[in-house]
Structure 1
């Protein structure tokens, strides 16, 4: 029986600032009828595994892994590569991970497929200039069908002339065939009137919640109309949107991203880069999420932090044209882990995360992956945490 048939058979009040509380803090849940305190999640390191740099697999270059999810139909994991078809066509990988309470023992890739356009062709490299290129960033396995939902950031051209490529959330079959796309909120649209997502700061984070009934997405950085990017003195607000499976917006909320943790090297041609590359719904609470914040500063390296956040009590901002200077009650969050304190061999460009198997201790494993950008001085790092 083919893998496709097998899976089908199996499938049948915080304002603009925030305080980093320790992971053991107990946060009250405002709003709703349940005011019992909820203890914030805690995390500890189980282990890690480094994938060989530019590993050749079935004629493709493994790297740029910016999203990961677990397929309940097969037990495997699926990784998305953010190669924009420069090396090979935009694609995803499947893999078996040997992870238990004693660490990450093996990462074995089992398959790869390109994402296909509606006409069945692969996506071209951006140099083609036909407005069809994509920038893959996140992938989730549909908890109902085990099809793949994947997000791409599109492209806001640096200059007038090249076509705008809009961000999107698409559906694909197990071999990459195009199945459709999710309608996105109007304020996720890139416009040349300096509105919408900044360049390279659109959709990097999606997650299913409420037993597959809700798809939540987050833009990586603040929309242009919502205020400036974070700096060493101030954080920023990014929009988190809950939608039904057919696209109806159920609510949009402001998540507070931390300020930049260090001063950028003034001699570097690159400025700091920070934002939300991944968000993950808690399986038993449709309003609660793990949120990954990733920051890079020239001369200081990466700062990776994991937060426990909730939309309960937060302002629904979907009707607000701009968040700048508005009295917004943001999502509350509590620090779960600062990767500098976990004991990792290196802290790199971590961008993807998913729940793994439950552990004998009662904790839930959390699998994370870093995007090496195909660079010689970076790594593809698979990290496993135990979350309580």
Structure 2
């Protein structure tokens, strides 16, 4: 095992795994990648197979192993990349390469096999300074020679969110521009009047099946578009489809986040000490050119997390590309609940990452989800969940 500048194996990651039978319907293939689907195939049968837990406080490669907020699978090497949301405070902003071997339809071990830790560089070529970044989502590039990742930034201090490309050794390559509507704007009194909300920005990232488009989704609505999710209100988040080569927006659609599942019943532990409840999209995963899986995370202090997995589609949804603000008349993306961890009786914890995994012995595809331990705050732990998914 190596620390810091681990060179990841080449792989096709997400885009290669999307050609799975039963999830894409009829597709054309170009150089091994899925092209435009002839028809959308909606996953219907999702089951939880196994969960492994890593205790909070675990240290690997001299830094805390925690805060895992994004994950992606390399089908060729069988390795995963997992991004920590450490704001360069507990350790440097970083990602891990790891393996999660399977034994049939279950994890083969009781912990991941870690292969390396790689520190991410800022535009300066040096590691990020403390609180200068908030990493959230990560995906391999189609050729396996690089990585795309997001930061939520910090709207409260004017730090913008971003989508960047990095080398597998963590070096800065380029930044994909976001539309002006996403930029934080503050009034003279300091009130946020437009742009992404603080800590509710780019939690989700995926690639189109052919790897030509980058797709992101905001955790909650842009300030000018509508309210954040509440106990009684949905939130109109934006799903953005951009050209990967140029970064130019190609389409935007409204994805409605459901209301918060539960009201808080107790305050958060010190030093916070306040009652807290929220809900948002924590990750997105492409099924084909129009359909996606989304993870919605609801939290209420004193209650815990409620994690739901949805199918959603841009077919028939209004294209709001270029709009500075929504009117409220837009037709949102269709969505359907696929799996609810709460009703299954499973404590999923703080799930923030999802990826297609290897094919299972019964022919179904696997999904691997990861839960962020918040570095031990409020009792959270790192969890890896293994699910199977079929379209029939």
Q: In the aligned structure 1, how far is the partner of 2:82 from the partner of 2:252?
A: 27
**1:31-71 CA-partner distances (Å, limit 9, x unpaired):** xxx99785443210110100132211111110000110012
Structure 1 counterpart SS, 2:290: strand
- Local SS of the residue matching 2:102: strand
Q: Distance between the aligned counterparts of 2:152 and 2:7, measured in 1? A: 31
Q: Kindly tell me: are residues 36 and 353 of structure 1, through their superposed partners in 2, closer, same or farther at Cα, counting changes over 3 Å?
A: closer
Aligned to 2:275: 270
Change (3 A) 1:275 1:319: same
Does the CA contact (< 8 Å) of 1:45 and 1:343 recur in 2? Answer: no
CA distance in 2, matches of 1:120, 1:37: 42
Q: CA deviation at 1:99?
A: 2.4
Q: CA RMSD in A?
A: 2.3
Q: Structure 1 residue 242 and structure 2 residue 257: aligned?
A: no
Q: Deviations over 1:168-187 (max 9, x none)?
A: 11111111111111111221
- Which SS does the other structure have where 1:113 is aligned? strand
Q: Give the Å deviation of 1:270.
A: 3.2
Secondary structure of 1:340 counterpart: coil
Q: After superposition, where does 1:1-388 map in structure 2 within 5 Å? A: 7=9, 38-106=41-109, 107-126=112-131, 133-157=132-156, 162=157, 164-193=158-187, 194-245=193-244, 246-265=246-265, 269-282=274-287, 285-324=288-327, 326-344=328-346, 346-375=347-376, 377-388=379-390
- CA drift of 1:5 comes to 7.4
SS at match of 1:120: coil
Residue 187 of structure 1 aligns to a residue whose secondary structure is: helix
d(CA) in 2 for partners of 1:198, 1:249: 20
Residue 4 of structure 1 and its aligned partner are, at CA, apart by 7.3
CA shift, 1:144, in A, is 2.1
Aligned to 1:15: none
Question: Aligned partners of 1:235 and 1:4: how far apart in 2?
Answer: 42
Stretches of structure 2 that go unaligned for 5 or more consecutive residues are 13-36, 188-192, 269-273
Cα deviation, 1:259-302, whole Å, max 9, x if unaligned, reads: 111223376613212101100001xx210000100010122211
1:260–1:333 Cα change, 3 Å: same
Unaligned runs of 5+ in 1: 12-33, 127-132
What TM-score results when the alignment is normalised by the length of structure 2? 0.84
1:87 Cα deviation (Å)?
Answer: 1.3
Give how far 1:221 is off. Answer: 0.7
Conserved? CA contact 1:147–1:173, under 8 Å: yes
Q: Using the alignment, how far apart are the partners of 2:40 and 2:136 within structure 1? A: 35
Structure 1 residue 98: deviation in Å?
1.0
CA 6–296 in structure 1, closer or farther in 2 if over 3 Å, else same = closer
Query: How much has 1:349 moved relative to structure 2?
Result: 0.5
Q: May I ask how many residue pairs the two structures share in their alignment?
A: 350
Tell me the CA shift for residue 323 of structure 1: 2.2
Q: Aligned partners of 1:145, 1:35: CA distance in 2, in Å?
A: 27
| Residue 98 to residue 343, structure 1, CA distance change in 2 (3 Å) | farther
Cα 1:266/1:95, change in 2 over 3 Å? closer
Structure 1 distance, partners of 2:83, 2:43, is 29
Segment drifting more, 73-82 vs 83-92: 73-82
| Range 304-313 or range 167-176, more displaced | 167-176
Deviates more, 1:68-77 or 1:222-231: 68-77
